[in-house]
Structure 1
Amino acid sequence: MSKITVMSSSGSTIGYIDGEYITNSSGSTIGRVRDGYIMSSSGSTSARFSSGTVSARTGSTVGRFRSGTAEDRSGSTIGYAKNGYITKRSGSTLGRYDGSPTDEQLVAILGFFFDFWGGFE
């Protein structure tokens, strides 16, 4: 599995996903993504992704990610992760990524841009 680079809209690198490891631009591990769990570097759960649903560490639903579309808990579209771009619902570009990430990895990538996904500790 190749390393995925996550970039800002200007093209500067803000992080990487290398297999299950999420790192910042300097290469320090800030989280992991494995078996549906998005974890902080300490191993505590930040969010969970299962069958399209994104849940907080408490288990409550915070949103959905299906077919490249990110939705909030009410089902409203908040953005997209498709074709190498992270975009807002309005269409403005928040960032970019390369490679062919899995949906699980895309949920982790969205954590760089959308706070409601839980973020990384």
Structure 2
Amino acid sequence: MATLKVGIADPEEMKARTMRIGKGEEKPAPGDPTVWFPSTESFARLLSAGNRELLRIIHEQEPGSLEELAQITGRATPNVSRTLKKMESYGLIRMEKGKGLKLEPKVNFDRVELALPLFERRKKGARK
């Protein structure tokens, strides 16, 4: 598998960055994060110990449906569904067509690397 590189940036900062990239004013560096979280708290919630355990179970036991995953974990199906939708939105998992109308969760990454700046970089010439 592969490593997902994530960063932390508030939504306004991400919008501004996306606009600069779209206008050609900025080019993402090869090592830049590909997924961004709005806060360290949102990152920590999504990758809590319980949710990392959920990812491990998906990877190791390969459940054939959300219902089967819920049964294995003892979690309610709607809870599992919400969690997986959030994980899917960040690219951690994908949902593949299974038997019949069932969807099978699959893990996309086996590692997450967090790029977390401790302070904002100041532009050249900017004062404190």
Shared topology, TM-score over 0.5? no
Q: Which has the higher strand share?
A: 1
Higher relative contact order (CA 8 A, sep 6+): 2
Q: Which has the higher helix share?
A: 2
TM-score (norm 1): 0.26
Q: Whose Rg is larger?
A: 2
TM-score (norm 2): 0.25
